[in-house]
Structure 1
Amino acid sequence: MSLRFIIGRAGTGKTQYCLENIRLALEKEPMGSPIIFLVPEQATFQMEYALAHNYGLGGIIRAQVLSFRRLAWRVLQETGGAARVPIGELGKRMVLRRLLDHHRGELRVFARSADRPGFADALARSIGEMKIYRVGPGDLALAAEKTDETPGLLNAKLQDLALIYREFDAFLAGCYTDPDDYLTLLAEKLDGSSTLEGAEVWVDGFTGFTPQEHYVIEKILGKAERVHVTLCLEPKDTGRELQEQDLFYPTWETFREITDRAQKTGVKIEPPVLLDAAIPFRFQNSDSLAHLERCYFRHPTETAGAGEGIELAAAVNRRAEVEAVARKIVYLCREQNYRWRDIGILLRDLGPYRDLIADVFQDYDIPFFMDCKRNMLHHPLVELIRSAVETVIKDWSYEPLFRCLKTDLLPVSREDTDLLENYVLAHGIRGYARWASGPWHYLRQFTLGEDAEPAPEEKAELAAVNRGRLQVVSSLGLFTENLRQAGNIAEITAAVYTLLEDLHVPEILHKWAQEAESAGRLEQAREHLQVWGGITSLFDEMVEAIGEESVSLEDYLAVLEAGLESLRLGLIPPGLDQVVVGTMDRTRSANTRALFILGANEGALPARQADDGIFNDSERERLAEAGVVLAAGGRRKAFDEQYLIYMALTRASEKLWLSFPLADEEGRALTPSPVIRRIKELFPGLNETFYQVDKLPDGTAGGLEYFIHPQRVLADLAVQLRELKAGRAIDPVWWDVYNWFNGSADGRGRLAKVLRGVFHTNTEKRISPEVSRALYGQPLKASVSRIEKFKACPFAHFAGYGLRLKERLLFRLAAPDMGEFFHAALKLFNDRLAERGVDWAQLSREDCGDLATQVVEELAPQLQSEILLSTARYRYLTGKLKRSVNRAAAVLAEHARRSIFRPVGVELSFGAGGELPPVTVELAGGGTLHLVGRIDRLDVARTEEADYLRVIDYKSSDNRLSLAEIYYGLRLQLLTYLHVALTHSARLVGRPGLPGAVLYFTVKEPVIRSAGPMSPDQVEKEIMKKLKMQGFLLGDPEVVRMMDNRIETGYSELFPVAINREGNFYATSSVASLEQFTALRCYLEQVFAETGGEILNGVVAVNPYKYKNISACVFCPFKPVCQFDLLLAENRYRALSHLDDNEVWARLLRKGDQ
């Protein structure tokens, strides 16, 4: 038995020495005594590949590449101990949470922290650290006795930790194995194992060892025939004492510890192999890298010129940094004969760069392997489990249920899922009972008791919805019942596992893996294959650790999500020729010719140290004094960071790139690392390159480096062509790029897409009159609101009425629903009065309240699938509706008491099937427009001289009638309704009528604000002011008094008019003369004729209006379709000039004269 060290600085060929000697031994005796090559876990694959491939061995029987953990597994399988169930990280945390809760009364410090998020994790890490450093509960108890007199919390922490640690070991005893105990078990079992009998052991790639690993090495020394240990150490340092701040102190300490253990066990120590060439083997082709390795930590500084092979780069942000690296990698592989596998990327912290590197490298078609554990929260299987349990907890509410359906792991197609989602959102379906109770039916948004037969396409869609519903119930119904009956964690987990088996999830994952592999997505394929094992292991841990614990489904979900969040899958590289991306403390990449170190910023390189355990640095020092040695504290870790930096800087054999961003994603300034400053000191002639995201390549030598990848250059070409389109000159090299793409069929196709984008104008061409007439039909049937929509924006009209695009219906009360309800309520209110023969003027406040309650309760079930009865919130809203209808009725009753106007029609429809015929307008280009609609309320005041007609339109929010908006065609309804009424007045009232008024009436319960108390009469007066009708009245004081008999002079409480002592109207009064009403009617017909003609002539322009601060785009649902963008020169608002009333009247009267 003997021990031999192989000593050398970085790059001197220690690993090559091991591999070469193993190869020679295998060639000499292929079936000889065992050879064990012991390396870090993450390096096992690389070393196996190196032995089998690089050295031409083909196959290996005698030699094995193992990690400590894998060696432990081999020995425990042989000697016993491997059969016990291993407890994973989640299992540990769950057991520790239970122990903390059970012993809460005995804990001095931990009781206050037991329920704090993350405390169980910190406790699990601390116990794991104790085991790795071979510290038991008894050692902690002894340390507690020694620190009893010291100030602070250390003594209490030690007592609490000793208690929980002891109880945790008692829980594991005889049933489970903590993976943190594997190496201790390995050391204890090695004496009874034949695995290392006569073996030659090579240990390589370690900076240092934990006490647990040192214990194993001690046992290996006493068992193996010969042990070789490589250490990255200055050869001359083996014979002298080093200090903590020295670069090689970590490996020197390892050298000393192993030497002491060998001497203690009587193992012969052979003379070390000292690899101390003047220029290390790795840097034979790079004087600069050799100088960097030799002098980085040497003082005084020895400079070495320009640093050939070393590049420093600053970037405006991380994206610019990664883009620059991607371009450089492609350049190396294309122009300098590098293979992807010759290139490595290292970071101190992969987090900020992980997704960015993946996105950019995919854009550049760079194959890469991310050397890190994968979080699996994004995987559909994980989402299925979380959402399925949450679906039962929330009784099949929309959000978790459709998250579950969209995993594609249920037998419901995406199309059926979309149909189901639309139906559920529109009808407010919630609860398992609603899903399972029977077929769903087609329900219109608001029927007012009028059942309508669904159209054939609606029937077909409903059939598909019900098919999907049955599939969902069949898939999740039994699971719901099982979960509701389950009482503990084991039963709940069994129900979840049964669901996955019933859904054939393993078979689906296998199919997905095959599809991903066929498409070349090898990492994704392996994720699909591994996630099932990870999930089942998680379930096993939960059942084994706390399976008998009774919990609610909510608590179970919290435990489950904690486990799923901690689920990490490790993947081996799916291909051999890839760029390896990893972290400095984990990734081991052999034969790296070019290394890129990203994120070289202060605070990141070297990394800031932070306490993440139970004990802080000062407490660790006091523990060491008490005989309990744990992992290094922050001070020692800071020194170890320098060693990590040394190892990273010396990893490449030919080229080294260091880069840093100047700002983060939020624009906060970042400063370069001290490493950058040190390299500049070593190489004063080394220049720093600056990279920007928006820099575009040009024809210069420096610019040509950007011409790397066709897809990226094509995007830059598009930018240049836009510059050319804007009249600016571009570099001639871009015409070469253009011609290059145009020189191949594939390139021409890609170029054509770019050209279409660059020279696209966001305008819509007219559709032909023939197509327009076929699309809209003849005669053209339109409501007034449709005409207003066209006048607001022709494209919005085309999208809504031509393409028939609709917003997704949602189960909620929007403003249009409220308006529809108020219309129906006031119509029904009026009908009930007519049935009883009661005039509006006869109604008392109590009558209004009683009848409003009856009306609202009668209509509530008919609104949007009984939405007003669905929740407490909507039931409260029903009460508000009653108060609003009551208030509206009371105001209308007050109007009736002061007026001789009485309803002659309510919800009076005109058009096909209505009480009145449509408004027919002949169009100039041929064709006819039929205007259809419904008048909310039409009143008449009969006198001997004439009958005056008044139109009232109910609104749920405040509205004012603007003459300018009428002139521009944006507000035509009220005037159109008056026009219809006057046109058919003989039919309605028995003789031709005259205009009385057009008015908006707001149906609401207004809020009255007051600085102090108000009497009931004052409140009522203020309410009447708030609900004053708005619009235009006939400019005849007598007609106005027919509407408000209390106004002789002064302001009306009911209308926006005021009369002076001379009997004339104030200038602020909203009145119009008979001539003006006539001019308005004539103008309406012109607007209808012009608009109808434009519709049938195919006008579909994206041409939204803007008037004052209001535009057609504000509430338009079609913005994603038209893509109106003010940044485009062709997209501008149709600005409507401000017109005062006098100017509008003047224009209308001139048009009337024409």
Structure 2
Amino acid sequence: MSLRFIYGRAGCGKSTFCLDQIRNKIEKNTDNKLILLVPEQFSFQAEKDLLDSIGERALYKAEVLSFKRMSNKILDQVGGSAHKRMNDAGKNMLIYKVLDETSDKLKFFYKASKQQGFVDILSELITEFKKYNVTPNVINESLSKIEDLELKNKLEDISSIYEGFQGYLEPGYLDAEDELTILSRKLDESDYFNDVEIWIDEFTTFTPQQYSIIEKLLQKAKRVNVSLNSDMLNGYNDVDNTDVFSITKVTEKKLLNIIERSGVGYEKPIDLNKEACPRFCESKELRHIEKHFFSFPYKYYNLPVEKLRMYKALNTYDEVEKVARSIVAEIRDKDYRFKDIAVVCREIESYERIVSVIFKEYNIPFFLDKKRDVTDNPLVVLITSAFDVFIKNWSYESVFRYLKTGIVKIQREDIDLLENYVLAYGIRGFHWVNDEFWRFGFDKDKEISVSDIEKLNKINEIKDMVREPLLKLQSSIKDDNSIFNICSNLYEFLNEIGALDTIEEWSEKFSKAGDQEKSDEYGQITDIVIQVLDQMVEIMGREKVKLDKFVTILNVGFEKHKMGLIPISLDEVLVGDIGRVKSHEVKSLYIIGVNDGVFPGSSREEGILSDFDRNMLKDYGIELAADTKTQAFEEQFLVYTSLSLSKEYIMLTYPMADFEGKALRPSIIISRMKKLFPKLVEESDIIKVNEDNFEYIVSPQPTFNNLISTLRRNFEGEETEKIWSEVYYWYKDKEQWKDKMSSVFKGLKYNNLVEKADESKIKALYMKPFNFDVSRIEKYAECPFAYYVQYGLKARDRKIYEFSAPDIGSFMHEVIDKFSDRVKEENLSFRELDIDWSKRAIDELVEETIEEKNAILKSSAKYKYMAGRMKRIISKSIMVISEHIKRSSFDPIANELKFGLGHKDLKPIEIFLPSGEKVTLQGRIDRVDGMGLDDKVYIRIIDYKTGNKEFSLSDVYYGLQLQLLVYLEAILENADKFVESNALPGAILYFRIDDPIVKARRGLEEKDIENLILKKLKMRGLLLADAKVVKEMDNGIDGYSLIIPARMNKDGSLGKSSAITLEQFDILREYVKETLVRLCDEMLSGNISISPIKKDKYTSCSYCKFSAICQFDSTVKGNKYENINKKTDEEALELIYKAVSDRLLIEAKGGNDDGRN
């Protein structure tokens, strides 16, 4: 019985020495069993190394064990394995149960216990306690000694939860972390390790559980060899934490304490540092890194650098693509195999997706050494969403999340048909549960067409296919909500809908398609689901729970369950976390993501127990895992072992920006390497100068991508390298690439310009007689193509049962219009509105309007609140309208006036195009006010807006704001219907419908607050520059008006205002007519160009629904914005005046012009 250390720096051959010793023992026909003990994650590689080194004889004499395998073997031999084993998922579910039962009694963690993720934190802490032999009793015994109140409260809560957890385990369950504790006890009963020789390899440190087992092994085995990655042995001396090998020296000291305590012998250590380091015999650079990276002062490597490369990438995509190109080059040029290469990083989660995409594109076989989450697997999604259907009352989201897993045997087009129908009519809840025939969208009294009946029959057929198995499941768990019953019926449900058969079929399909990784994933998921359900039943099967709590527990189980996959080939690039990669057979190593704070990693969060807590517990004899300070030293050791992994070659890479474009800094490792290797040239493709084009000629798809970039440069007149000509002809001659090459050339010539549409077809599309809405013509001015798609092709969004912003505007317009009508009907006046009467009338009109065609506003609490909010806004707006009229001499003449073909209110506005076509304009005017003065009647047009609409003469000039002036024209042309005297323009104004929040100091009187509201809702627009008329619009104007965009000077003259003269109004009216002629002529002549406007930061693409259709891209040749250079009112008026004058001059000379600069 003895201990022997085998020590040496990284790469000195410790593992090889262990294997050689085992082989020598076998060759000498030793009678002793030979055991190689390694970490669990390295056991597969260790078995392979043993077979490669010794051959099949190893199977009979030697054995590879991990602590977990050892536990299974010994417990099977001497007993103790009869307990039901609880996996991590079961553990988390049990902790959730205990937490749910005890949360109200917790002092320190009451709030935290309600937070998502707290179960995981507790699970990790309990695992740590068990690894370090800290039981609830140990915690409770320490409580009387602890004076710090916060730590005491923490430990009391933790102990309560821990005791509850252990209490549920004791009747017959075994936590995975308890296995080593039981193993340590059971080793006394076993003779399996008597007189064996053991080699413990690849460990850096051990947990107290493992030390306890090693102590038992030392007392039984003939000899225990322990390999240590260290420059020297430290003995019983104190360990310097700054020493990069401090971790292994602490391990050495603890093992020496064990043999001293146990009376076990100590053999002369094997010092492999004396020998030439075999791993780096092919690379002086890597040997220099291993020996001098952590040495001070630096020893510079002044030779040319060949076996070390460094790459600065633009972003992670560029970084991984560089690695892929380099791997292909190594396979091609260095006679490497894929298994000789490893790609590692500190945070594999941030790289796994992009590595998978790029490596597949480069035809690089790889194994991603990472356990997969199962929560996104379709089977798990189907289960959780099926229960969500019941919990969320058959909500749209839950039903179609369930259907879109692809597992339910309903055709996708049928699901789409049903989805569109459900969305259009907001179907949920009892409509699914009741045995009713859905016929939403059709009046009961109206006859339905044959095609509509067929469609409804199809929809109802699909609906029944969806609901019947779900209703059966819901019914089966309604009266018995025990976990056992829910789990049992869930399993029956999965079988009934064929879910498990479908998963098996998918696994086979993936296997046949060559995607073995996916095949393995689907091959495991059914067992995982059954394991989680079994654990639920075993832990709490008799308990009755509400369905939402059942789903929470289920999710806790699924979230903790990780799916492990094994390599599908022996020849694959290993991709994984730095801490999990074993050094054997790695000839070429790529360390990616070498960024500041990533590698070496920054200090991790302290967790439930802070560093202060851990150090205090250590003083009381409770040792736990390392604090964050010690973890920082461990990270330094990880840097050392990582840089020492490869035999021949290392490439360090780091991106300058993350996926979102946020800047990243290089790690200290990069700067240190540059100091160690002064002749190391950092590579980068950020600025490509004298690049090796041969590097970009790799596997077909990525080379094709690079060829496209080269062809584009050539197409734009840039000189390209001759080698790409050969590449081009290679693809051109390959049948399978001909279509793609053709598409490339089409793409290079593509300019995304839309040809002018055939005039006759356009006219047929818009149909005579041409009757255009003026607001739509403004949209044409913003982008002809968007107008064409929306109003020509009549593209529509999918109909959804919702009350959108346009619906809100229409609703409030309608109620205000009805209110205005009621005021007239009851011979009342806006000047003398009674507040109480107004509120009652608004309440009635809102309810009436909801009943007529807005029943959605009663369909949910959200919409009921919206209805109440709109009612308040309408009330406030009507009070403000009333106040405007009280303060003015203008009276409402009419409201909701319609003009255009088919409307009797006003005769339509007609415009005649150069082509001879006649266009009629239509619209709806919210309110017209009039005021008599000096034998004239001044007209005021009011347009209600729910948004903050500003009037701009600049926009009028560009044809973007014509509506108010067209409304004015419609009234002036029909003035004889309303007034007897000569009608003149008085104002065109926007009124904002709103109930604004105003900021005000305390102590303001009610009148002052009302004035603040009036100021906030001041009308915007254009006034007639006549002081008398302006005063009639605001009788009390003194300085700046609270209700109109005007200011009156002290001398009674009009100050700075949004006002123009009568002549300017006439010019504006004339210009608007010309603009309408121009726009309508362009529209009907077939101009459907993709030419969106850009005005300051706004573009007409900003909220456009049709961007996926036009695919406008300002970087593509031919695609450019129509830049709208904002004009001042004075500049706009001058340009408008000039345009009208020029047109009149041209007409006088018999010419033609478009009327706009």
TM-score for both structures, normalised by structure 1? 0.80
Alignment correspondent of 2:868: 876
Cα offset for 1:1101?
1.0
Are 2:501 and 1:504 aligned? no
Mapped contact 1:906–1:935 kept (Cα < 8 A): yes
Q: Would the alpha carbon gap of residues 650 and 914 (structure 1) be closer, same or farther in structure 2, given more than 3 Å must change?
A: same
How many Å separate the matches in 2 of 1:635 and 1:1052? 68
Alignment correspondent of 1:695: 687
Mapped contact 2:831–2:886 kept (Cα < 8 A): yes
Encode CA deviations 1:1037-1064: one digit per residue, 9 max, x unaligned: 9xx8999999999999999899999999
Q: What SS does the aligned partner of 2:127 have?
A: helix
How many Å separate the matches in 2 of 1:109 and 1:789? 61
Cα offset for 1:820?
2.6
How many Å separate the matches in 2 of 1:272 and 1:1016? 95
Q: What SS does the aligned partner of 2:1105 have?
A: coil
Aligned counterparts, 1:601-612, within 5 A: 605-607=599-601, 612=606
Matched residues, number: 1135
Q: Would the alpha carbon gap of residues 466 and 953 (structure 1) be closer, same or farther in structure 2, given more than 3 Å must change?
A: farther
Alignment correspondent of 1:128: 127
Alignment correspondent of 1:1132: 1121
Are 2:637 and 1:650 aligned? no
How many Å separate the matches in 1 of 2:142 and 2:702? 63
Picking from 495, 516, 524, the partner of 1:522 is 516
Aligned counterparts, 1:1086-1105, within 5 A: 1087=1075, 1089-1105=1077-1093
Cα offset for 1:1003?
7.0
Cα offset for 1:102?
6.7
Encode CA deviations 1:930-976: one digit per residue, 9 max, x unaligned: 55555657899999x99999976555457677666556544444555
Alignment correspondent of 1:367: 365
Cα offset for 1:173?
1.9
Structure 1: unaligned runs, 5 residues or longer? none
Alignment correspondent of 1:821: 811
Mapped contact 1:427–1:865 kept (Cα < 8 A): no
Picking from 529, 532, 552, the partner of 2:526 is 532
Cα offset for 1:176?
0.7
Q: What SS does the aligned partner of 2:778 have?
A: helix
Encode CA deviations 1:507-546: one digit per residue, 9 max, x unaligned: 2322332333333333233222333333333334344445
How many Å separate the matches in 2 of 1:314 and 1:495? 57
Mapped contact 1:902–1:939 kept (Cα < 8 A): yes
How many Å separate the matches in 2 of 1:289 and 1:692? 22
Aligned counterparts, 1:308-319, within 5 A: 310-313=307-310, 315=312, 319=316
Q: Would the alpha carbon gap of residues 978 and 227 (structure 1) be closer, same or farther in structure 2, given more than 3 Å must change?
A: same
Moved more, 572-581 or 860-869: 860-869
Mapped contact 2:386–2:402 kept (Cα < 8 A): yes
Mapped contact 1:793–1:1102 kept (Cα < 8 A): yes
Picking from 223, 231, 251, the partner of 2:227 is 231
How many Å separate the matches in 1 of 2:292 and 2:912? 94
How many Å separate the matches in 2 of 1:260 and 1:940? 103
Aligned counterparts, 1:56-135, within 5 A: 57=56, 65-93=64-92, 95-96=94-95, 121=120, 123-135=122-134
Q: Would the alpha carbon gap of residues 249 and 797 (structure 1) be closer, same or farther in structure 2, given more than 3 Å must change?
A: closer
Q: Would the alpha carbon gap of residues 1112 and 633 (structure 1) be closer, same or farther in structure 2, given more than 3 Å must change?
A: closer
Aligned counterparts, 1:299-314, within 5 A: 305-306=302-303, 310-313=307-310
Aligned counterparts, 1:13-412, within 5 A: 13=13, 15-16=15-16, 37-50=36-49, 57=56, 65-93=64-92, 95-96=94-95, 121=120, 123-136=122-135, 148=145, 168-190=165-187, 203-217=200-214, 229=225, 231-232=227-228, 237=233, 243=239, 278-290=275-287, 293=290, 305-306=302-303, 310-313=307-310, 315=312, 319=316, 320-411=318-409
Tell me the amino acid that sits aligned with residue 651 of structure 1. Answer: L
Mapped contact 2:1023–2:1030 kept (Cα < 8 A): no
Q: Would the alpha carbon gap of residues 745 and 264 (structure 1) be closer, same or farther in structure 2, given more than 3 Å must change?
A: same
Mapped contact 1:125–1:613 kept (Cα < 8 A): no
Moved more, 600-609 or 890-899: 890-899
Q: What SS does the aligned partner of 2:370 have?
A: coil
Cα offset for 1:655?
1.8
Q: Would the alpha carbon gap of residues 839 and 282 (structure 1) be closer, same or farther in structure 2, given more than 3 Å must change?
A: closer
Alignment correspondent of 2:1154: none
Q: Would the alpha carbon gap of residues 53 and 128 (structure 1) be closer, same or farther in structure 2, given more than 3 Å must change?
A: same
Cα offset for 1:1100?
0.7
Q: Would the alpha carbon gap of residues 890 and 415 (structure 1) be closer, same or farther in structure 2, given more than 3 Å must change?
A: farther
Alignment correspondent of 2:750: 760
Tell me the amino acid that sits aligned with residue 203 of structure 2. Answer: F
Identity of aligned residues (%): 30
Moved more, 1024-1033 or 748-757: 1024-1033
Q: Would the alpha carbon gap of residues 461 and 769 (structure 1) be closer, same or farther in structure 2, given more than 3 Å must change?
A: farther
Mapped contact 1:196–1:223 kept (Cα < 8 A): yes
Q: Would the alpha carbon gap of residues 798 and 868 (structure 1) be closer, same or farther in structure 2, given more than 3 Å must change?
A: same
Q: Would the alpha carbon gap of residues 15 and 857 (structure 1) be closer, same or farther in structure 2, given more than 3 Å must change?
A: same
Cα offset for 1:88?
3.2
How many Å separate the matches in 1 of 2:1099 and 2:296? 71
Cα offset for 1:311?
0.9
Cα offset for 1:328?
2.1
Are 2:766 and 1:776 aligned? yes
Mapped contact 1:203–1:227 kept (Cα < 8 A): no
Cα offset for 1:362?
3.9
Encode CA deviations 1:316-357: one digit per residue, 9 max, x unaligned: 566254443333222111211111110112334435444444
How many Å separate the matches in 1 of 2:1098 and 2:670? 57
Q: Would the alpha carbon gap of residues 58 and 969 (structure 1) be closer, same or farther in structure 2, given more than 3 Å must change?
A: farther
Encode CA deviations 1:673-727: one digit per residue, 9 max, x unaligned: 36963x667xx5563332445333645x5x6545545554555555556656666
Aligned counterparts, 1:574-589, within 5 A: 574-589=568-583
Q: What SS does the aligned partner of 2:772 have?
A: strand
Q: Would the alpha carbon gap of residues 955 and 157 (structure 1) be closer, same or farther in structure 2, given more than 3 Å must change?
A: closer
How many Å separate the matches in 2 of 1:1056 and 1:254? 82
Alignment correspondent of 2:665: 670
How many Å separate the matches in 2 of 1:149 and 1:1027? 68
Q: What SS does the aligned partner of 1:656 have?
A: strand
How many Å separate the matches in 2 of 1:617 and 1:691? 41
Cα offset for 1:177?
0.6
Alignment correspondent of 1:804: 794
Picking from 857, 861, 868, the partner of 1:867 is 857
Q: Would the alpha carbon gap of residues 29 and 272 (structure 1) be closer, same or farther in structure 2, given more than 3 Å must change?
A: same
How many Å separate the matches in 1 of 2:191 and 2:715? 79
Cα offset for 1:41?
1.5
Mapped contact 1:597–1:658 kept (Cα < 8 A): yes
Mapped contact 1:326–1:360 kept (Cα < 8 A): yes
TM-score for both structures, normalised by structure 2? 0.80
Q: Would the alpha carbon gap of residues 697 and 479 (structure 1) be closer, same or farther in structure 2, given more than 3 Å must change?
A: farther
Q: Would the alpha carbon gap of residues 123 and 873 (structure 1) be closer, same or farther in structure 2, given more than 3 Å must change?
A: closer
Q: What SS does the aligned partner of 2:467 have?
A: helix
Encode CA deviations 1:1068-1089: one digit per residue, 9 max, x unaligned: 796886x998887776665555
Q: Would the alpha carbon gap of residues 458 and 845 (structure 1) be closer, same or farther in structure 2, given more than 3 Å must change?
A: farther
Moved more, 73-82 or 215-224: 215-224
Q: Would the alpha carbon gap of residues 1126 and 135 (structure 1) be closer, same or farther in structure 2, given more than 3 Å must change?
A: closer
How many Å separate the matches in 1 of 2:428 and 2:99? 39
How many Å separate the matches in 2 of 1:325 and 1:572? 24
Encode CA deviations 1:92-145: one digit per residue, 9 max, x unaligned: 455556667877899897789766776665554444344334455555566667
Encode CA deviations 1:136-186: one digit per residue, 9 max, x unaligned: 5555566667xx388787788777766765554443223111111212333
Q: Would the alpha carbon gap of residues 109 and 763 (structure 1) be closer, same or farther in structure 2, given more than 3 Å must change?
A: closer
Alignment correspondent of 1:513: 507
How many Å separate the matches in 2 of 1:692 and 1:237? 43
Q: What SS does the aligned partner of 1:595 have?
A: strand
Mapped contact 2:803–2:856 kept (Cα < 8 A): no
Mapped contact 2:439–2:456 kept (Cα < 8 A): yes
Encode CA deviations 1:64-115: one digit per residue, 9 max, x unaligned: 5443212322443444433322233354455556667877899897789766
Cα offset for 1:870?
4.0
Mapped contact 1:104–1:111 kept (Cα < 8 A): yes
